[in-house]
Structure 1
Amino acid sequence: MGLKQAIKSIDAFPRAEDHLLQKTQSGAFVSIVGLIIMASLFLHELGYYLTTYTVHQMSVDLKRGETLPIHINMTFPSLPCDVLSVDAIDMSGKHEVDLDTNIWKLRLNNHGHIIGTEYLSDLVEKEHAAHNHDDEKEHHDDLDQKLHALGFDKAAENMIKKVKQALTNGEGCRVYGVLDVQRVAGNFHISVHGLNIYVAQMIFGGVTQVNVSHIIHDLSFGPKYPGIHNPLDGTLRILHDTSGTFKYYIKIVPTEYRYISKEVLPTNQFSVTEYFSPMNEFHRTWPAVYFLYDLSPITVTIKEERRSFLHFITRLCAVLGGTFALTGLLHLMIL
């Protein structure tokens, strides 16, 4: 037997003579169905191959000497911007009062519309045009006399009158921006602690009159990556006929997101628990909203990866070959 005949003997795809083949309508129907199924499976496998998936890895956090960016976007519907301050303290002993780094405040009217903007360190705004009503003038004259009698200077008097008018008008405040703090455990809080205690007493009359109702539009500790969930986004806490201090205990997990392009995005995830402490007129501290954070010693690396081409070919052969065999079996059953 020659080489040519030897090669023909191992042919796994023998072909019948044309006059022995018979084409039927049922065979055509099964063939069309099989082709549709194979085309659908091919497109599905192609999409599966082209999409990326993420792999999570954990390791010890070795970062040193970096800062922690805190992105804040909150609304206080019942407190004017003039009385709100952002304070931060960490375990290293660093204490900053009324932070002015990349923090802005938006004055809001009682409908939530913006009526003014100021940088947080700027505690003086241009006065709006006064409404010269006689009853208001008499009220301001009485207040001036009372403030002078208590020994307040002119700046404090103007501050008190301005805030009282804002409270009467139902003004609120939106605080937003970025805090850059040391990468150690600590807390930051938004409150009226920046006020002199006597000035605060003249404005509110007592701690129970300070309404720290708030809406957290966004709170994050770094840039966002695909699939991240910040648990405090959209939080709404409104107080009615009560006052107190909100505390959010946050556990920050350092995170690196590695894109398929090898670009690395350093950021942070966090979990949170919440606690509310009501106050009465006998409390000596003023209500506030605290965010107490601590950092995990473990960092999470999230990597985007794509399936190998050989994996794609293997799955493709399996589904297409299986479909061809199944349709052949179906055709034999029909016959």
Structure 2
Amino acid sequence: MEHVMSKIRNFDAYPKINEDFYSRTLSGGVITLASSILMLLLFLSELRLYLHAVTETQLVVDTSRGETLRINFDVTFPALQCSILSLDAMDISGEQHLDVKHDIFKKRIDAHGNVIESKQDGIGAPKIDKPLQRHGGRLEHNETYCGSCYGAEASDDDCCNSCEEVREAYQKKGWGLSNPDLIDQCKREGFLDKIKAEEGEGCNVYGFLEVNKVAGNFHFAPGKSFHQSGVHVHDLLAFQMDSFNLSHTINRLAFGDYFPGVVNPLDGVRWTQQSPSGMYQYFIKVVPTVYTDVNGHTIQSNQFSVTEHFKGARIGQLQSLPGIFFFYDLSPIKVTFTEEHVSFLHFLTNVCAIIGGVFTVSGILDSFIYHGQRAIKKKMEIGKFS
């Protein structure tokens, strides 16, 4: 055993300096103190990096199929009443959702932004409870009401018992409702009176859309939409208004769920309309994103970039459909974020590098100052001797 210990002593590669050869100086003490503080600060910085996860970013081709895209939105129109505002969504596959009401909420707001009423329905009024006619005639005993669709019936058995049902029947025919006062249901429901009563109000629309994961658009526009000769139009004549104030504030717009570090560039964006009417367009490039935290939990979401364009009405040309349009397209490249912890060996290596590096640099600096002071002192002594 003693022989082994003797071998280990002989293997010691670090020579020990006798304390009699030490020269303690003020500059050496200052450098030692400064070096110790620097090493402590660097150690704490490295410890913070070790305790917190780092995010690795990778770009891959998006090969997913058959998925859907959730669009979360919250938009405020300070000068457009809820009774005339509708939401449509469509994509390049041909799928359309007109006057979307499912999972959509509307809040009537006054000129000061205070909430007047909150509801989950679209434009239109409730059905008539006590109607008086059946296709222009009187009701017989025990006969249920069946209102006229004013030429939009698909068969003799079709009924339109409210102004909204008449408008929907017209929509299926590709017609626009030009004068609601001629429709008995609309007249008794006070369709135009209700719109006039809400003048000066605004509307806050929020909710989400579940759409196919293909390029498409969704838009907020006044009036109920329908197709006429293959063109998407809205029955604006029903409101008997010359222009619509489409000023708006996008409180939130996100494609998918929130994940740490996501930045939605349209959050808080405000636009004030200056011209009488027009179409405000947002062109959005959606980038699929997968975020995986240190515990292995995965969030499937998206990021996006956006450009904006306003298409106003020009003299001598067909007026653009007034509305706020969001055109989105998907990138074929997917971004993956993966949270990882730095390994303990990597942390230990960096700590050793900090201690050794600071110690070596401070030793060189101390040696330079020490020999410089000795040289100056020796020159002074030679000068005195001379």
Would the TM-score normalized by the shorter structure come out above 0.5? yes
Q: What SS does the aligned partner of 1:330 have? A: helix
Q: How do residues 148-163 of structure 1 correspond to structure 2 at under 5 angstroms?
A: 150-156=181-187, 158-163=190-195
Distance in structure 2 (CA, Å) of the matches to 1:288 and 1:216: 14
Q: How do residues 268-307 of structure 1 correspond to structure 2 at under 5 angstroms?
A: 268-279=302-313, 283=318, 286-307=321-342
Match of 1:237 in 2: 271
Letter in 1 for 2:347: F
How far residue 320 of structure 1 moved from its aligned partner, in angstroms, is 0.7
Q: Does 1:217 align with 2:218?
A: no
Q: What SS does the aligned partner of 1:57 have? A: strand
Q: What SS does the aligned partner of 2:224 have? A: coil
Distance in structure 2 (CA, Å) of the matches to 1:44 and 1:310: 16
Match of 1:113 in 2: 114
Instruction: Tell me if structure 2 keeps the 8 A contact 1:75–1:173.
Output: yes
Distance in structure 2 (CA, Å) of the matches to 1:330 and 1:188: 67
How far residue 232 of structure 1 moved from its aligned partner, in angstroms, is 1.5
How far residue 58 of structure 1 moved from its aligned partner, in angstroms, is 2.1
Tell which deviates more after alignment, 195-204 or 299-308.
195-204
Tell which deviates more after alignment, 193-202 or 107-116.
193-202
How far residue 18 of structure 1 moved from its aligned partner, in angstroms, is 5.1
Q: What SS does the aligned partner of 2:190 have? A: helix
How far residue 201 of structure 1 moved from its aligned partner, in angstroms, is 2.6
Q: Deviations over 1:10-31 (max 9, x none)?
A: 3233334455556555544433
Distance in structure 2 (CA, Å) of the matches to 1:271 and 1:75: 21
List gaps (5 residues or longer) in structure 2: 127-177, 227-232, 371-386
Tell which deviates more after alignment, 261-270 or 234-243.
234-243
Q: Deviations over 1:45-76 (max 9, x none)?
A: 11122222222222222222222100010011
Match of 1:14 in 2: 15
Instruction: Tell me if structure 1 keeps the 8 A contact 2:55–2:340.
Output: yes
Distance in structure 2 (CA, Å) of the matches to 1:194 and 1:313: 67
Q: Please report the TM-score for the alignment, with normalisation by the length of structure 2.
A: 0.72
Q: Does 1:315 align with 2:315?
A: no
Instruction: Tell me if structure 2 keeps the 8 A contact 1:243–1:280.
Output: no
Match of 2:210 in 1: 180
How far residue 205 of structure 1 moved from its aligned partner, in angstroms, is 2.9
How far residue 154 of structure 1 moved from its aligned partner, in angstroms, is 4.3
**Cα gap change, 1:212/1:148 in structure 2, threshold over 3 Å: closer, same or farther?**
closer
Distance in structure 2 (CA, Å) of the matches to 1:3 and 1:65: 71
How far residue 303 of structure 1 moved from its aligned partner, in angstroms, is 1.2
Relative contact order, CA 8 A, sep 6+: which one is greater? 1
Q: Please report the TM-score for the alignment, with normalisation by the length of structure 1.
A: 0.83
How far residue 276 of structure 1 moved from its aligned partner, in angstroms, is 1.0
How far residue 292 of structure 1 moved from its aligned partner, in angstroms, is 1.4
Q: Does 1:263 align with 2:297?
A: yes
Tell which deviates more after alignment, 152-161 or 35-44.
152-161
**Cα gap change, 1:251/1:199 in structure 2, threshold over 3 Å: closer, same or farther?**
closer
Letter in 2 for 1:256: V
